[in-house]
Structure formats: C-alpha cells, structure tokens
Amino acid sequence: MLVKRTADTQDEAQFKEWVELLLDQALFAERGTLEDPNQFIRRMNQLLVS
C-alpha cells in the first residue's frame, strides 16, 4: 500500500519524503533502531496528514 501510494505521488518533494520513510522503516526493521528517530516521527506525522 505504501509503495503504491509512493509510486502514485506526483509531487517530487512528497515523493522524496515517502521514499525516506520507506527506507527508515526498512532500517528500523533490520536494526531495531534509527539514527534519528525524531526525524522519522516528524516525517510519519507529516505524511499522515497530507
């Protein structure tokens, strides 16, 4: 679902945010931690309301 939504995004800045979010999710799943968890939460919240 997120990959499809990302692929359907026309706005380049929003596309970048979706890609970064997907990358962070993959890194979190692999490592169990993120380099910048605050950035992840900010990005997640921003995309949820958009």
At a CB cut-off of 8 Å and minimum separation 6, what does 5 contact? 18
> What pLDDT does residue 11 have?
85
Parent domain of 30: 2-49
CA dist 21 and 40 (Å) reads: 7
Name the one residue in this structure whose structure tokens are 């962070």: 24
Number of domains in the chain: 1
Q: pLDDT digit string (tens) for 40-50? A: 999 999 988 88
What predicted TM-score, i.e. pTM, was given to this entire model? 0.74
- We report the CATH number of the domain holding residue 36 as 1.20.120.790
Kindly report each contact of residues 23-30 with a partner whose C-beta sits within 8 Å and lies 24 or more positions away, as own/partner.
none
Kindly report each contact of residues 38-44 with a partner whose C-beta sits within 8 Å and lies 24 or more positions away, as own/partner.
43/17
